[in-house]
Amino acid sequence: MDIGHFYFLTSQYFEDFPNSNAMKNKDAERNRPCFCAFKENDLYWMIPISSQIKKFESVYSNKIKKFNKCDTIAFADLLGNKKAFLIQNMCPVTDQYIRNEYLDKHSNPVRICERREKTIISQAKKVLNLHRRGTTLIFGDTLKIEEELRSRS
């Protein structure tokens, strides 16, 4: 797996971790949802992306009004379309749970602009560190999943 690339998870991940609160496989045949990968120590963390822009712009705006910031949702263009990066729903994985990489029509890995990618990954690492210190920013029991994945390796 490559950092900043996009991947699809196997259905086995959702079977092994049914309470992960990660976005569920909505349409396995069409590879949904898609996740952006970054590495943290010995595990990969996957940030799901969504095309429900209005919904997540509203959530983002509400958090800005309430907290004067929002580190749990980010936005970027992917293949010419605005997508929401749901840092609040990120989840840890190992290679065994990766089904395939998201490729464009020319079989090239799908990417976002490098500057935006670095910002989103930095934001995700910040949220993960805060979450580990007790500030609940990520949905689901990601720390328990992380512990279980590490115990298997």
Residue of 41, 46, 37 whose CA lies nearest to 140: 46
- The tens place of each residue's pLDDT in the chain, 153 residues long, gives 888 889 999 888 888 988 656 555 554 454 557 888 898 888 999 999 999 999 999 999 999 999 999 999 999 999 999 999 999 999 999 999 999 999 999 999 999 999 999 999 999 999 999 999 999 999 988 999 999 999 987
CATH class of 6-152: alpha beta
Contact 35, 48 (CB under 8 A): yes
In the chain, domain spans: 6-152
| pLDDT tens-digit readout, 110-135 | 999 999 999 999 999 999 999 999 99
Contact 19, 140 (CB under 8 A): yes
